[in-house]
Amino acid sequence: MQFIQFIFASMLEYITFSIFAMVLFRFSVKEHIVKFCLSSFILALVSNTLQVESLQNISPVINVFLLVFLLSIILRIRLLHSIIMVILSYLVYTLVQWLLLTIFIKFGLFSEIKPYTFSGYILQASSAAMLVLISYFILVTNGGFSYIRASSRFFKEEVKGNRLFLVTLVISLFVVFVVNAMYIGSVGLPQYFYTIAIVIILVLVILIYFSTRKDNKNDK
Q: How many domains, in total, are found in the chain?
A: 1
Q: Which of 16-25, 90-99, 149-158, 206-215 has the highest mean pLDDT?
A: 16-25
Instruction: For residues 52 and 62, give the distance between their C-alpha atoms in angstroms, rounded to a whole number.
Output: 15
Q: How far, in Å, CA of 154 to CA of 136, rounded?
A: 29
- What pTM, to 2 d.p., does this model score? 0.78
For the packed helices 118-140 and 79-106, what is the interaxial angle rounded to 10 degrees?
A: 120
The amino acid present at 189, given as its one-letter code, is L
Q: 142-200: per-residue pLDDT in tens?
A: 888 877 766 554 444 444 455 666 666 677 667 666 666 655 555 445 555 566 666 66
| 108, containing H or E segment | none
Cα separation of 217 and 220, whole Å?
A: 5
List the domain range (segments joined by +) for residue 157: 2-219
Give 202's Cβ-side CA count (13 Å radius): 9
pLDDT score recorded for residue 19: 94
pLDDT digits (tens, 9 = 90+) for 29-77: 999 999 999 999 998 888 888 776 666 667 777 888 889 899 989 988 8
Question: Please, are residues 116 and 51 in contact by the beta-carbon 8 Å criterion?
Answer: yes
Residue 211 CA: distances (Å) to CA of 79, 82, 89, 144, 146: 17, 14, 12, 9, 9
